[in-house]
Structure 1
Amino acid sequence: MNKKILQIAIPSIISNITVPLLGLIDVAIVGHLGAAAYIGAVAVGGMLFNVLYWSLGFLRMGTSGMTSQAYGKRSLDEVVRLLIRSLTTGISLGLCFILLQYPLQLVAFHFIGGSEEVETFAALYFRICIWGAPAVLALYSFMGWFIGMQNSRFPMYISIVQNIVNILVSLCLVFVFDLKIAGVAWGTLIAQYAGVLMAILLWRRYYARLGFWRYFMESLQLNAMLRFFSVNSDIFLRTLCLVAVTVFFTSSGAKEGDVLLAVNTLLMQLFTLFSYIMDGFAYAGEALGGRYVGARDKPSLHRLVTRLFLWGGFLALLFTLLYGLGGNGFLRLLTNDEEVILTSGNYLYWALAIPLTAFAAFLWDGLFIGATATRYMLLSMLVASAAFFGVYYLLHDYWGNHALWAAFIIYLTLRGVMQTYLGRRVLANI
């Protein structure tokens, strides 16, 4: 069982780590163009796309869970239908983003703000990259489908190809053809479609025998699409709660002043780093859990849960130890501002609590998606999010920025506790 988990988790972790590189590469390139407005434009544009695409993460997660169950049942015709439903939904939503690009831009920039120069460059970046929406959302579908088919190597290959193409094309367009911010945007756009092309080629090479077009029309029947959207609507609403907590955390930190905003941002990198690792094991829970649910193999499912939580507990203890011993050194790698580093020491213990309070929520998310028990996942997120906002407003006047961190730790803990309780019910009913 450990081998099966690691075969999915390790490539997924590598894929997760490469994801932020697309944005980091863009920032690094424009950072050498000699104007801070270029960096601001990429940051604003990147944040807007993160919100748009992150909210549609159900295309990956829902596809993964349902595909893994169909795979466990050995229903190969259904796995193809699921890919068709997901791709059709993703590409349609991507085309809607293109059609609505101007209203989206106006609304987003109204709330984001920024200097006139930053807004001009960000608008140019947005208007180019928005044409990649169908590609990005189609990739979500392919990534989820490959994971559901117990294959996390292909998403890793696709992520690596995307980053290589992005680096080469962006460098060429910016420094050879002097396209500046437009060159960076075109590099990102071309990399996105290169990723889709890679996904199609891999699918045709290894899965074309399953068929595609002969299932197309029957895949879009009303009842099948309603079930697809029922599962995904729970994930969509859960993701909105996650976005609300994340955005509120950042905006509340900003109200505390520049130093505390910087402190919160840096310490949250510790959470982000841990999440990249745990998401890999959550993907293993999606793929293997769905497979065993589909096959009605309860003994293997229970062994999977046990092994996942052994891995999760070990990694949580390891990261807590690493952050305790080297957290301050890690912060010094990110900044040389002594005031920020000194102030971070007053909040570091909150970050130390993240691994032990968060790992259960990551693992249960994957298992719930694999079992398509998404309503339970949504319920736990609603309760935890309500607790986050309640604790923050209850304690903020007395505890300041510490209240924000206390609320976040309670939010993580409550998610894990509720999901453990609900997860036991799911396992008992399979």
Structure 2
Amino acid sequence: MPPSRTPVPGTGKRAGEHAERRARQRADRRAARRAARRHDREIVSLALPAFGALVAEPLFLMVDSAIVGHLGTPQLAGLAVAAALLTTAVNVFVFLAYATTAAVSRRVGAGDLPAAIRQGMDGIWLALLLGAALVAVVLPTAPALAELFGASATAAPHAVTYLRISALGIPAMLVVLAATGVLRGLQNTRTPLYVAIGGFAANAALNAGLVYGAGLGIAGSAWGTVLAQCGMAAVYLLVVVRGARRHGASLRPDAAGIRACARAGVPLLIRTLSLRAILLIATAVAARLGDAEIAAHQVVLGLWSLMAFALDAIAIAGQAIIGRLLGAGDVTAARAAERRMIQWGIAAGVVLGLLIVVSRPLILPLFTPDPAVHALLLPALLVVALVQPISGVVFVLDGVLMGAGDGTYLAGAMLVTLAVFAPLAFAVPALGGGLTALWWVMGVMMAVRMLTLWLRSRSGRWIVTGATR
């Protein structure tokens, strides 16, 4: 018979503890996987419609350009100048969407829907006031603005015509921004998508009918865009007003609430202006390098912007989700959502980078047949592809901190980024660098942004719970 074995004291207990620990670890992993799937569904449900709405907006200008371009080169040149002015004026106030999303989503998380809608109405009233002020500035100064932006003698009259008529739609454009922020804060990105698609279709039909059918020329294009934007604003207001009545929220302007929205928007305005300055500096430096360089830069910048739409969609989801979770006081879920969105950002950046590399043979002839421009585009596009994963992290953390209402830090971080970028960019032509060197500097700019945002994320000082920050 085999010798009997005497159990070592405590062995069975330790084995039981190990088994229990392994069981807990398996349960934790299952819970983590369920949470990740839940976050994935929420990110996709918010980001996909947001991406569609973001892409639909630039199509307005493409339709206008396609229709006006058949009128003649002076008309198209005038449209280019006027559209650049209008786009800059409106995009400077994009904080109307971002700040409103963060404020409304916090109230939603806190379970106070009437206050959330009331907060959104304050943003809409602020948009109307800013829009009226812009109209008052643009109408009398349209000729001077067209001249300042370099419109030629033949293009300037068309630029002034388009600018003065389109300026009447600025209040509607800003209302669309603010109302989009309201709906995003309410975790609704589908309605903005539907409105953007409807607005795009209406804009195309109105432009064609007024330019060619009514024979109004470039003025018809401007009126078509104004009517489409006003229609979009009206739909948004109808949705928000219905929500306000359903939840008993006041629709009247509240001076204190409007001032609070303006104060919350100032840091994001500084952030936006700093980012615009970076892009303008990059374009100015590219122009100094030569005609082929600025042409190639314009193509690369356009593709960079297109990639940004996809990454910005994840950031928009981050604003809405983080704001809601912090409003509800759920810090653990907010941290988990942040980690998952960073993974999404990196994955999206890798995919977009690979798409750029694979599609380069198709991209080059699509924009220009010039071999000199092709030679400049190839290495610059490779830099853009390599930087996309970094961009994915930047956009996500930007959205997380916006959703947390951490605008003051975002403004400071962007000023630091501008201070690093500007001397490096201006040094490119001074040191004999070319377009590829300039885009490496753009990559450094994104790396600096990632570092500043990552440090803030790690510090946890952005985590403030409750209905308001």
> TM-score, normalised to structure 2's length?
0.87
Query: Which residue of 409, 415, 422 corresponds with 2:449?
Result: 415
Over the matched positions of the two proteins, sequence identity in percent amounts to 26
Asked if 1:83 corresponds to 2:120, the answer is yes
1:41 touches 1:121 (CA, 8 Å); kept in 2?
Answer: yes
Q: Distance between the aligned counterparts of 2:361 and 2:264, measured in 1?
A: 42
Query: Which residue of 95, 106, 112 corresponds with 1:69?
Result: 106
Asked if 1:158 corresponds to 2:195, the answer is yes
Asked if 1:105 corresponds to 2:138, the answer is no
1:70 touches 1:76 (CA, 8 Å); kept in 2?
Answer: yes
Asked if 1:301 corresponds to 2:334, the answer is yes
Q: Distance between the aligned counterparts of 1:107 and 1:172, measured in 2?
A: 30
**Shift, 1:412, TM fit:** 0.8
**Shift, 1:253, TM fit:** 1.4
Partner of 2:76: 39
CA shift digits 1:231-275 (9 cap, x unpaired):
210000000001111122222212222211111111122211210
**Shift, 1:205, TM fit:** 4.7
**Shift, 1:225, TM fit:** 4.1
Asked if 1:179 corresponds to 2:216, the answer is yes
Which one has the largest radius of gyration? 2
CA shift digits 1:31-61 (9 cap, x unpaired):
222x101111111111000110111111111
Asked if 1:198 corresponds to 2:253, the answer is no
1:328 touches 1:341 (CA, 8 Å); kept in 2?
Answer: no
Asked if 1:189 corresponds to 2:223, the answer is no
1:60 touches 1:144 (CA, 8 Å); kept in 2?
Answer: yes
**Counterpart secondary structure, 1:129:** helix
Instruction: Indicate how the Cα distance of structure 1 residues 248 and 57 shifts in structure 2: closer, same or farther if over 3 A, else same.
Output: same
Partner of 1:168: 205
Alignment of 1:5-20 (within 5 A): 5-20=43-58
**Counterpart secondary structure, 2:460:** helix
1:31 touches 1:39 (CA, 8 Å); kept in 2?
Answer: yes
**Shift, 1:226, TM fit:** 4.3
Partner of 1:210: 247
Q: Distance between the aligned counterparts of 1:110 and 1:30, measured in 2?
A: 20
Partner of 1:24: 62
**Shift, 1:323, TM fit:** 1.4
Asked if 1:50 corresponds to 2:84, the answer is no
Q: Distance between the aligned counterparts of 1:215 and 1:295, measured in 2?
A: 25
Letter in 2 for 1:350: V
Letter in 2 for 1:9: A
Query: Which residue of 341, 360, 384 corresponds with 1:351?
Result: 384
Query: Which residue of 99, 118, 129 corresponds with 2:155?
Result: 118
Letter in 1 for 2:215: D
Alignment of 1:138-287 (within 5 A): 138-212=175-249, 214=250, 216=252, 219-221=254-256, 224-287=257-320
Query: Which residue of 397, 407, 412 corresponds with 1:364?
Result: 397
Q: Distance between the aligned counterparts of 1:198 and 1:336, measured in 2?
A: 43
Partner of 1:393: 426
**Shift, 1:380, TM fit:** 1.4
**Counterpart secondary structure, 2:111:** coil
Over aligned residues, Cα RMSD in angstroms?
1.7
Partner of 2:438: 404
2:147 touches 2:156 (CA, 8 Å); kept in 1?
Answer: no
CA shift digits 1:112-143 (9 cap, x unpaired):
11211211001000110000011011111100
Asked if 1:292 corresponds to 2:325, the answer is yes
Partner of 1:379: 412
Q: Distance between the aligned counterparts of 2:243 and 2:113, measured in 1?
A: 14
The size of the alignment, in residue pairs, is: 425
**Counterpart secondary structure, 1:244:** helix
Query: Which residue of 405, 414, 425 corresponds with 2:459?
Result: 425
2:383 touches 2:443 (CA, 8 Å); kept in 1?
Answer: yes
2:282 touches 2:438 (CA, 8 Å); kept in 1?
Answer: yes
Q: Distance between the aligned counterparts of 1:114 and 1:385, measured in 2?
A: 29
Alignment of 1:322-341 (within 5 A): 322-341=355-374
2:315 touches 2:400 (CA, 8 Å); kept in 1?
Answer: yes
1:389 touches 1:407 (CA, 8 Å); kept in 2?
Answer: no
Q: Distance between the aligned counterparts of 1:3 and 1:52, measured in 2?
A: 35
List runs of 5+ in structure 2 lacking aligned partners.
Answer: 1-38, 465-469
List runs of 5+ in structure 1 lacking aligned partners.
Answer: none
Letter in 2 for 1:109: A
Letter in 2 for 1:72: G
Moved more, 339-348 or 119-128: 339-348
2:285 touches 2:425 (CA, 8 Å); kept in 1?
Answer: no
Letter in 1 for 2:458: R
Partner of 1:3: 41
